[in-house]
Amino acid sequence: MTFICPHCNHKSVSHFSKFLSFEGSPATCSNCGKHSIDANGVNDSYRQIVSFGLIVFGALSLFTQTILYFAIWFAFTTIFPIYSLYCVPLEPIETEKVKRYRSKKLVSIGVFSVLVLLVVIFE
Ligand SMILES: [Zn+2]
């Protein structure tokens, strides 16, 4: 199954690329080659909620010695991608924006590695 590209309205965005789409790695249309991502940054927020939720609910589960909280987290983690895949439309994203996002990421990785290096040198 494929999804409709918001640029050319062809059904040419694959399941997989829609599911993984976010600003730094958008889905690419196999018809027109333009980029699109899940609307409103849904995928990005999902990733943040899932990793944050794993810490919170995982800790709660450990603390209370019940699987209940972990089950809640697990249910959300599995159900939400299905919702986002079928109910959230793709929105177009400009290639410029993707490039900007990537260079921002590169700069922050660069700053981080310099800091780590400084710590290692001066320790
Ligand atoms: Zn297209």
Structural domain range at position 116: 2-122
Strands 35-38 and 11-14, bridge-based pairing: unpaired
Rounded distance from Cα 93 to ligand 1 centre (Å): 11
Rounded distance from Cα 16 to ligand 1 centre (Å): 16
C-alpha–C-alpha distance, residues 42 and 44, integer Å: 5
H or E, element range at 2: strand 2-4
Per the structure, the count of domains in the chain is 1
Cα 55–Cα 59–Cα 65 angle in degrees, nearest 5: 150
Entry pTM: 0.70
What is the pLDDT at residue 119?
92
Rounded distance from Cα 18 to ligand 1 centre (Å): 13
In this model, does residue 1 exceed pLDDT 80? no
Asked whether 15 and 4 are in contact (CB, 8 A), the reply is no
C-alpha–C-alpha distance, residues 77 and 52, integer Å: 12
Rounded distance from Cα 28 to ligand 1 centre (Å): 8
Rounded distance from Cα 8 to ligand 1 centre (Å): 4
Q: What are phi and psi of 20, to 5 degrees?
A: -95, 0
Confidence band for 5, pLDDT divided at 50, 70 and 90? very high
N-term to C-term CA, the chain:
55
